[in-house]
């Protein structure tokens, strides 16, 4: 599953699919780091038939030593997905408020959980409304799904794995946060500034613009400039594994379905004071 057509869907095509007798399950996963809750946006209007799923409480575990957005408990995730109508083998489309981050994390979570038929609405809610497509304000009552969560569908890095990848002679650990956070000049969220020693900075705007991705060849060029090439291992992290999930989606679009997500990301890394922290502009290689 590596082609753009299998990972992203444009608004007009999705609208046609929603009109079919057996439409895809559509999940609204709008979210903001600092709030307000995406559920408020959902109540004001959403795609026809879309069900709201909360990133913080349903797609991720409780924040703590494993990070702000750790892996969810498989049983809890399965219950949430079934309640949203997700069915085994049935296509799912996820969308967010337009930046593509929470939709990418939802895509990643479903794929990690073993559900392969997942696409992201390219451009999210703004692209849908800009196209003049129908909007609902009611709350649907989906038929409960029967999806079974089977973790392991996508590769995951823990802190030790991220450290090994960052220190390896071949392979790249991408830090996709803004440069001032990577450099240790500014840290607005976590208690410690800096980056995993050996990680390479590639801020998200270098490969995605307002939730829309360039062509696969352009993505390959941008990742290659950061040292991603051939079959050497590649992983990504950010503050809490949301923006980095978007990087993994971009790597899939570029033909690297083996890309790993460090789910705990920086929020997990700095939870242990014994883990080293690098600052400044060198990669540490």
Each residue of 71-122: pLDDT tens digit? 999 999 999 999 999 999 999 999 999 999 999 999 999 999 999 999 999 9
Q: How far apart are CA 183 and CA 194, in angstroms?
A: 6
Identical fold for domains 4-130 and 156-269, yes or no, is yes
Q: Is the pLDDT of residue 145 over 90?
A: yes
pLDDT band at 36 (very low <50, low <70, confident <90, very high): confident
pLDDT band at 283 (very low <50, low <70, confident <90, very high): very low
Q: What's the pLDDT at 5?
A: 46
Among candidate residues 243, 245, 223, the one with its CA nearest the CA of residue 232: 223
Q: Where are the beta strands (DSSP E) in 216-280?
A: 234-237, 260-262
Mean pLDDT for the chain? 95
Q: How far apart are CA 94 and CA 27, in angstroms?
A: 5
Q: Is the pLDDT of residue 275 over 90?
A: yes
Beta-carbon neighbour count of residue 64 at 10 Å?
A: 12
Among candidate residues 28, 79, 86, 75, the one with its CA nearest the CA of residue 53: 28
Mean per-residue pLDDT, 125-153: 97
Q: How far apart are CA 39 and CA 54, in angstroms?
A: 8
Q: What's the pLDDT at 285?
A: 33
Residue 209: DSSP 8-state = B
204 half-sphere exposure, CB direction, 13 A CA radius: 23
Which class is 156-269 in CATH?
Answer: alpha beta
Mean per-residue pLDDT, 223-247: 96
pLDDT band at 168 (very low <50, low <70, confident <90, very high): very high
Contact 162, 262 (CB under 8 A): yes
The domain locations on the chain are 4-130, 156-269
Q: What's the pLDDT at 1?
A: 36
Mean per-residue pLDDT, 35-42: 91
pTM for this structure?
A: 0.95
Residues assigned a catalytic role: 238
Contact 32, 99 (CB under 8 A): no
Rounded (10°) angle between helices 216-225 and 243-253: 120
Q: Is the pLDDT of residue 266 over 50?
A: yes
Beta-carbon contacts of residue 276 (< 8 Å; ≥ 6 apart): 197
Q: Is the pLDDT of residue 3 over 60?
A: no
| 4-130: CATH topology | Oxidized Rhodanese; domain 1 (3.40.250)
């Amino acid at each position: 599953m590596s082609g753009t057509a299998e990972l992203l869907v444009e608004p007009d095509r999705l609208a046609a699919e929603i009109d079919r007798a057996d439409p895809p399950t559509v999940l609204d996963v709008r979210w903001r780091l600092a709030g307000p809750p995406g559920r408020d946006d959902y109540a004001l209007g959403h795609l026809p038939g879309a069900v709201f799923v909360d990133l913080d409480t349903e797609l991720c575990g409780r924040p703590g030593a494993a990070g702000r957005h750790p892996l969810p408990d498989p049983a809890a995730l399965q219950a949430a997905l079934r309640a949203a109508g997700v069915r085994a083998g049935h296509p799912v489309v996820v969308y967010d408020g337009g930046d593509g981050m929470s939709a990418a994390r939802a895509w990643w979570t479903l794929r990690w959980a073993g559900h392969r038929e997942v696409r992201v609405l390219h451009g999210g809610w703004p692209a849908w409304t800009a196209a003049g497509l129908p909007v609902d304000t009611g709350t649907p009552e989906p038929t409960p799904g029967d999806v079974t969560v089977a973790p392991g569908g996508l590769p995951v890095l823990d802190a030790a794995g991220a450290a090994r990848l960052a220190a390896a002679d071949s392979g790249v650990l991408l830090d996709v946060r803004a440069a001032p956070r990577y450099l240790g000049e500014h840290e607005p969220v976590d208690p410690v500034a800096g980056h995993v020693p050996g990680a390479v900075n590639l801020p998200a705007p270098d490969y995605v613009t307002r939730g829309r991705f360039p062509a696969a060849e352009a993505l390959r060029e941008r990742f290659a400039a950061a040292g991603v090439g051939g079959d050497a291992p590649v992983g990504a992290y950010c503050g809490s594994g949301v923006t980095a999930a978007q990087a993994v989606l971009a790597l899939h679009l570029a033909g690297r379905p083996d890309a790993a997500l460090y789910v705990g990301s920086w929020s997990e890394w700095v939870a242990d004071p014994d883990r080293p922290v690098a600052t400044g502009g060198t990669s540490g290689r």
